[in-house]
Structure 1
Amino acid sequence: MTWSRWTATAMRVAATLTVLAITATAAGVAPAAADDDLADPQRQRLDWHTCQRGSSDAAGAELDQAGASCTELAVPLDYARPDGRTINLALSRLPATDTTHRLGVLLLNTGGPGAPGRSDVLPIRQWLGEVGARFDLIGLDPRFVGRSTPLDCRWPTGTWTRSAGPDRATFDRLTAFERDLASRCARRHADLLPHITTRNTARDMDLLRAALGEQKLSYLGYSYGTYLGAVYTQMFPERADRVVLDSAVDPANYGARVLREAGPANEVALRDWADWTARHHERYGLGRTGQQVLAVVDGILAAASRRPLRVGGYQVDRQTVPYLLLNRLSDDRDETQADLAQTVRVLWQAVVSGSATPTASLADTLSFLLTGAESATGSVQAAILCGDVPVPRAAGHYWRDIRQHQTAEPRFGELTRAISPCAFWPQQPRERPTVVQNSVPALIVQSTGDTRTIYRHGQAMHQALTGSRLITLHDARIHGVFGNYGNVCVDDAVVAYLAHGQLPARDLDCASRTSS
C-alpha cells in the first residue's frame, strides 16, 4: 500500500486499537519537549558530490544532468543513544538559481511510506515554476528507504496489501500470509525495527535542517508525507517555515488501517469508471452501460474465486483482483481510466479463454504484487506503519469488521479492512502515536473524490492544525493534486503561498477541469 507517488513505479502500488501504554521516557526515548536540542549545527559537515553511481544509474545521471548534487547525512539509529550507532541517509539538492531572492530550503516527500525521494526534486522544480528557482530543493530517501541504509525482509511480494477474499478460508490464508511476512522481518531485522518510525524520520529532518545551516525548514508533502510533515510541526513547531500538505492523512487515524474508511469511496469510483468505460464500449467491449461493465467486474471476481486466472506467467486469484482494481482508482483522468479498462479486459479474456497476455502496465503490477523483486518496498512500509501505531492483534477483529461492512463495500471492504503484518509484529511501538494539535501555519490541499486519503481526512488535518487553510478541489478524483493534476486554481494558490509565505485569508474552493 502506497498512498501517493504518480511515477511509473508508483502506479503499480495501491496504496495503505490496543495501545501499549508506555510513555516516551519509559521507552528509552527522549520526550518531544527535549527534541528541540537534537539539532546541533556543528554535528557534521555535508560532502556534496555527483549523484550517479555507475553507468546503469539512470536516476543519478538525470540528477547530475539537471545540476543537482548528492550527499549522505549520518544520523543516530536510536535517538535515545545519540552517541551510539549511526545510519546514513541519502539526499539530493537542486540549488536555487535565483540566489538574490532565495527563500531557503524546501524538503520534499511525495508519499509512501517507504518511497525514495532523491529524484523528486526534478518534477517538483518544474511544477513550482519561477518560485522553484528561489528554493534549494531537497529530496530525501528516509531512513531505511532507497539508498538510506536500506532494509529488506526478503518477502515474496512487493506489498503486504491483499484482499481477505470472500470466505473464512481465504481470510485464514491471508492471516497466515501476513504472519509469515512479519516473521521474516523479525528474523532479519529485529534490532532495527524499533527505530523505523515517523518520529525518528522527523528527528532526521531536523538534523538535516541544522546540517544545511538553516534556521527553518519549508516542506512540501503528499499523502503519507502529510503525516510526516504534521509530525514535524508537532515536534519542532518553531522550526517549520512554509508547509504544504497535499492529499492529507487524518493524523488521528494514521497507521496500517488508514484505508479502513476508503471502501465506500472506491465503490463510488469504480461505478464512475464503469460509466466512463461504457462510453468507450467500441474500444474496450466491456458493456454499453455502467451496470454491464460492473457485471463483467463481478464475473471476474466470481471466476477468480473458483480458480486462479492465468495471466501471462502469473496466477491471479480472488485475493489479488481487488488490488488490481483499487490500484487505478485514485486518478480520474482518461489515461488512468483507460489503463484500468485494459486491465479488466485482460482479466475478462482470461476468464473466457482460459489465459490472457497482460499489458505492460499489468505485467509490471503483477510482478510487484506476486514476486519478491521489490520486497524492500513493502518491507520498509510495513516497518514504518507497524513501528508508529499499534493495531488489534486478534484475527477475529478483522473478520468481523469485514463481514459487518460487506453490503456497503462488496468489492473493496475485504481489501481496505484486511489484516496486516502489524497484527503479528514482533514489537509494539516504542513511543506513543503522535497527537497532532498545533497552530503552525500550513496549506492543506484535498480533492473531494480522493480514494486513498478521503476528503474527511483532509478536513481532520485542517482541524488538527488550527493555523492552517484548506484548499478543496471539488468534483475531482485525484490523490496528489498540486503540480500533478494540472488544476490552475490549486497550483496558483500553492505557488503564491510558497512565494510570499502568507496563507489565504480563508479556505479556498477550486473547481475541477470537468466541472468548470
Structure 2
Amino acid sequence: MLRRAIVSAALFASVLAPGSAAAADTGLDRFYDQALDWKPCGTADLDDAGAQCADVTVPLDYADPQGRTITVTISRLAATDPARRRGIMLSNPGGPGGPGLNMQLAFRPDYSPDVLAQYDLIGMDPRGVGRSTPITCRWPVAGLRSAGADAADYAESVATQADLAQRCRDTTGAALPYFNTRNTARDMDVIRAALGEQRISYLGGSYGTYLGAVFIQMFPERSDRMVLDSAVDPRRYGDAMLRDMGPANESALDAWADWTAERDGEYRLGTDRGRVRAAVTTLIERAHRQPIRIGAHQVDDEVLPALLFDLVANPKTYGVLAAHLRQLTDAADGLPVPPSPELDEALNGRLAGQPDDAQTWAIMCNDVPAPRDPLGYWNAIEASRSTLPVFGPFVHNIRPCAFWADPIETPTDVHNASPALILQATGDPRTVYESGLALHRAMPGSRLITVPDQRIHGVFGTVPCATAATNTYLADGVLPERDFTCETN
C-alpha cells in the first residue's frame, strides 16, 4: 500500500510543469530540468541526415527517484522552418523491444512539408532496448517458437521457455521488473520536459500504439496530436493478442499460397493453393522427423513455422518466403543447397538468440501476467491443430511469460475521450482489425481510418489516402469529422 501511494504521488507530479513544488517533493525535478548534451549519433544514416542524439537520464524506479538511474537515448531531426515550429513528435516502431532511433528518419519522406516544418522529429530507443541501458538476457535461441508435433516436442518447449525466463532473472537481476511500458511512458514525459515542451505529438506503430495509448491515459494533459497505426487492443495485449494472430496468419498463408501457385515454374511448390499448402505442411512434418540441415543450420518443426510467420505478413516478402521454402525443400531432399544470404540471416535470427528478442519478451512479461499452467497451453495447442494446422501450435505455444514474476504494476486500463487518429487495415495479420475497433471504442474521442482488403501491418507511408489524412491531422490538429474508409485498388 505504501509503495502504491508513492507511485501515485510520483505520477501526479509528472504531469505538472518541470520544477514545480510537487515535482521537487518527489525528487523528479532533476530529471525534468536536466540539460541534454546533443552530439552526433554515430551512425551514418542519422549523421548524414543532420540528426543529433542525446542520452536522457531517468529513474529505474519512479517510486524511488533517488535510487538507480538509467539512460534513454533519443535522436532529433530539427523542424525545417523554425518560424513555424510547433513542438516535438515522438515515435515508436513497435515490438515491444523495437529500437526507434531511426524511425523518424525512415518516415521523413512520408511526412508532408507542413509537418516537417512544424515538428522536431524525435526517435527513441525505449528503456531496455538498443542504446538505452539495454536488457541483456543472453538467450541462446529465440523465444517465439512453435510447439512442434507432439507431447515430447512440447515438453522441450516448456523447458526452453523456463530456461529463457531464468536467464533474464540471472543477468538483469532486481532491475528486471522496471523495464515496462508504464515506465517507458513516464520516460516519454521526462523527455518532453527535458526538451522544454508542454506537450508531445506522437506516431506509434503496432506495439507503439499500446505505448501511445498508455501515455495518453497516464498523461492526458501532455498529449497533443497522437497517431496510432495498426492498433493493439489494450485489453488483449499480451498472451491473448498473440493467440488472435493465428487465424489472420493462416489466412495470410492462403494468400501467399495463391501467389506462389501462380509462379510454380519458378518455385515448384504446387500449382494451386492446396498443393502449395500441402508442400508446407509436408515440409514441417519432415522437419519434425529429421531436422533439415542447410549450411550451418538445422531447422526443425519448432523453427520452420516461425520463418513462415516472419514473412507471410507482407505481400512484398512473398517471393522471399517462397525462395526460402524451395531451398529448404531441396535441402530436405538431400541436395547440397547452400542457404542464400537472406535465409542464412533469417535462420541466424531464429536459431540464435538476438538481443531485441529478449527485450521484447521482458517488456511484455513485465506488463501483463500470463497463464502459468503448461497443461492449459497444451490443450489450446491440440484444440487448434484442425483449424490452424501451421500457426495453431505457434501462437498457442507456451512462452517465457509463463515463468515470469508477476508485474509490479496493474496493467493500464485505457478508457478516455482524448483525441487520436487510429489507422487500421482489415487484413492486418499482426494486430487484427478487431483490435483497432476495440481501441477506438476505448477511446471514443478518436477517429478510425479503415483500409479495406489489404494484408498489411503498418498503414502510414503505405496507403496514400491514410498517409494524407495523417499529415493533415498532424499539420492542422483537426481530426476527420467522422470515421471513414480509404478507397484502395
Instruction: Report the TM-score when normalising by structure 1.
Output: 0.89
For residues 139 and 42 of structure 1, the distance between their equivalents in structure 2, rounded to whole angstroms, comes to 19
Q: Contact 1:29–1:431 (CA<8 Å) still a contact in 2?
A: no
What is the identity, as a one-letter code, of the residue corresponding to 2:480? Answer: P
Task: Name the SS of the counterpart of 1:108 in structure 2.
Answer: strand
Alignment of 1:291-302 (within 5 A): 291-302=274-285
For residues 68 and 133 of structure 1, the distance between their equivalents in structure 2, rounded to whole angstroms, comes to 15
Q: Which has the higher helix share?
A: 2
Alignment match of 2:38 (pick from 31, 39, 48) = 48
The Cα of 1:129 is off from its aligned counterpart by 2.8
The Cα of 1:34 is off from its aligned counterpart by 5.3
For residues 216 and 399 of structure 1, the distance between their equivalents in structure 2, rounded to whole angstroms, comes to 47
For residues 244 and 388 of structure 1, the distance between their equivalents in structure 2, rounded to whole angstroms, comes to 22
Alignment match of 2:129 (pick from 120, 126, 145) = 145
User: 1:42/1:341 Cα in 2 relative to 1: closer, same or farther (>3 Å)?
Assistant: closer
Alignment match of 1:491 (pick from 467, 474, 480) = 467
Quote the residue 2:266 is aligned against. 283
The Cα of 1:361 is off from its aligned counterpart by 1.5
Q: Quote the RMSD (CA, aligned, Å).
A: 1.6
Alignment match of 1:419 (pick from 398, 417, 421) = 398
1:276-318 deviations in Å (ceiling 9; x for gaps):
1111112212111111111111110111111100121100001
For residues 207 and 398 of structure 1, the distance between their equivalents in structure 2, rounded to whole angstroms, comes to 40
What is the identity, as a one-letter code, of the residue corresponding to 2:318? Answer: Q
Quote the residue 1:363 is aligned against. 344
Quote the residue 1:352 is aligned against. 333
The Cα of 1:257 is off from its aligned counterpart by 4.2
Paired positions, count: 476
Instruction: Report the TM-score when normalising by structure 2.
Output: 0.94
Structure 2, unaligned runs of 5 or more: 17-22
Alignment of 1:438-453 (within 5 A): 438-453=416-431
Structure 1, unaligned runs of 5 or more: 1-22, 53-59
Task: Name the SS of the counterpart of 1:444 in structure 2.
Answer: strand
What is the identity, as a one-letter code, of the residue corresponding to 1:229? Answer: G
What is the identity, as a one-letter code, of the residue corresponding to 1:67? Answer: G
User: 1:42/1:391 Cα in 2 relative to 1: closer, same or farther (>3 Å)?
Assistant: closer
Task: Name the SS of the counterpart of 1:356 in structure 2.
Answer: coil
The Cα of 1:103 is off from its aligned counterpart by 2.2
Q: Contact 1:256–1:386 (CA<8 Å) still a contact in 2?
A: no
For residues 276 and 379 of structure 1, the distance between their equivalents in structure 2, rounded to whole angstroms, comes to 34
For residues 212 and 2 of structure 2, the distance between their equivalents in structure 1, rounded to whole angstroms, comes to 20
Alignment match of 1:183 (pick from 166, 173, 180) = 166
Q: Does 1:169 align with 2:152?
A: yes
For residues 322 and 112 of structure 2, the distance between their equivalents in structure 1, rounded to whole angstroms, comes to 34
For residues 227 and 105 of structure 1, the distance between their equivalents in structure 2, rounded to whole angstroms, comes to 20
Task: Name the SS of the counterpart of 1:241 in structure 2.
Answer: strand
The Cα of 1:26 is off from its aligned counterpart by 4.0
1:223-279 deviations in Å (ceiling 9; x for gaps):
000000000000001110000000110100112442111111111111111011111
For residues 274 and 144 of structure 1, the distance between their equivalents in structure 2, rounded to whole angstroms, comes to 38
Task: Name the SS of the counterpart of 1:153 in structure 2.
Answer: coil
Q: Contact 1:30–1:79 (CA<8 Å) still a contact in 2?
A: no
Q: Contact 1:443–1:503 (CA<8 Å) still a contact in 2?
A: yes
1:76-132 deviations in Å (ceiling 9; x for gaps):
011001122111111110000112221210001011111111111211111113122
Q: Does 1:509 align with 2:448?
A: no
Q: Does 1:464 align with 2:442?
A: yes
Q: Percent identity at matched positions?
A: 49
Task: Name the SS of the counterpart of 1:430 in structure 2.
Answer: coil
For residues 42 and 116 of structure 1, the distance between their equivalents in structure 2, rounded to whole angstroms, comes to 23
For residues 430 and 417 of structure 2, the distance between their equivalents in structure 1, rounded to whole angstroms, comes to 26
For residues 444 and 42 of structure 1, the distance between their equivalents in structure 2, rounded to whole angstroms, comes to 30
What is the identity, as a one-letter code, of the residue corresponding to 1:330? Answer: A
Task: Name the SS of the counterpart of 2:238 in structure 1.
Answer: coil
For residues 221 and 68 of structure 2, the distance between their equivalents in structure 1, rounded to whole angstroms, comes to 28
1:310-356 deviations in Å (ceiling 9; x for gaps):
121100001111111111122123xx111111111111112222553
For residues 205 and 295 of structure 1, the distance between their equivalents in structure 2, rounded to whole angstroms, comes to 48
The Cα of 1:369 is off from its aligned counterpart by 1.1
1:152-178 deviations in Å (ceiling 9; x for gaps):
111102x30000011111111000000
Alignment match of 2:100 (pick from 110, 114, 117) = 117
For residues 482 and 279 of structure 1, the distance between their equivalents in structure 2, rounded to whole angstroms, comes to 29
Q: Does 1:154 align with 2:132?
A: no
Quote the residue 1:73 is aligned against. 56
What is the identity, as a one-letter code, of the residue corresponding to 2:408? Answer: R
For residues 246 and 352 of structure 1, the distance between their equivalents in structure 2, rounded to whole angstroms, comes to 43
Per chain length, whose mean CA-contact separation is higher, i.e. which structure has more relative contact order (CA < 8 Å, sep 6+)? Answer: 1
What is the identity, as a one-letter code, of the residue corresponding to 2:349? Answer: F
Q: Does 1:36 align with 2:12?
A: no
Q: Contact 1:114–1:380 (CA<8 Å) still a contact in 2?
A: yes
Which range moves more in the overlay, 198-207 or 489-498?
489-498
For residues 268 and 487 of structure 2, the distance between their equivalents in structure 1, rounded to whole angstroms, comes to 32
For residues 99 and 92 of structure 2, the distance between their equivalents in structure 1, rounded to whole angstroms, comes to 9
Q: Does 1:106 align with 2:89?
A: yes
